[in-house]
Amino acid sequence: MLYTHLGRTGLKVSRLCLGTMNFGPHTAEKDAYRIMDTALEAGLTFFDTANVYGGWGDRPQAHHGWTEEIIGRWFALGDERRERVVLATKVYNPMANPLDGPNDEGGYSAYKIKRSVEASLRRLQTDHIELYQMHHIDPHAPWEEVWGAFEDLISAGKVVYAGSSNFGARHLCWAQQAAQSRHFLGLVSEQHKYSLLTRQPELEVLPAALELGLGVIPWSPLAGGLLGGHALDGQGGQRSAEAGASLDSGVRARLERFHELAAAAGHSPANLALAWTLANPVVTAPIIGPRTPEQLTQTLVVPEIKLDADLLAALDEIFPGPGDPGSGADPGAESATGPWAYAW
């Protein structure tokens, strides 16, 4: 496994980030343990979760916080599992906590941030979180309040770094300007939707992150499974089959060309798509969400894949960037325009 610094910090993280969103609703707890053990054995030490994960699906035990609880029980197994992990989780969404009443709504009041941290620490069975990320934009909470709460948590040793997710470029700039005025480090990373099929962030978000020294952590780097290799053949499970069935002819044609290019280059489509994100210098680590240890093992080679100029140009031809003609076939494009196209 290769490692890199998280943004402009001195913290080193693995160049793949283990996503845990499926733990609970779609991945049984014992299988989640096997995946996390396999990741650690391979040197993949960067794990991402969120306080709200686990609260969907048709399983009767589904509830917000379920994923964090699974990770916490895995940590409790010992063998320095917690000590070896760089842990990232998130705050923003309602958690269905009646004790918080109207303050359980999404947002970043100092009240919500501090109570959410304490709840995540209990579920995760740990005393600190390396990267505490703001999951969405809250236009109502002033940065003086947000950064005041984060400063308290960092001083208390409960949080080490602050990150964001789904922010627009202007929000990143506002956050960092406010942090600088307080002589505070501010954000160190931005987690954003980015893939060969979702390249709009190249217009504003990625350049802003690069200039500000933020590490970008792409989520959905396989575009919800469309770039994973099974959207066309329907062999990747129900969700992959549904995604493939809904493709328009233009996107399907691009994916067929992409599969041919991956085969010619000697890579699986998923690994080629992930390696493409890592070829961007602002990207720290794409988030991967394996359903089995075997899937994880197949992905571990990605940081070692080097894409030459010809292969990158071929990918640009199939999936044009946002400023190129013919780039409007992006199935993940947001309907909003301007800075809010990137933030939600």
The Cα 64–Cα 189 span in angstroms is 24
Instruction: Give the H or E element holding residue 165.
Output: strand 159-165
Residue 17: strand pairing partners? 46, 287
The Cα 322–Cα 168 span in angstroms is 16
With CA atoms as reference, report the closest residue to 132 among 231, 49, 233, 34.
49
**Assigned token pair, 329:** 């076939």
159: Cα separation from own chain's centroid = 18
Cβ atoms of residues 126 and 74 within 8 Å: no
SS3 131: strand
Mark whether 53 is an active-site residue: yes
**Assigned token pair, 162:** 């602050």
Which of 3, 33, 53, 194 does the annotation list as catalytic?
53
- Give catalytic residue positions: 53
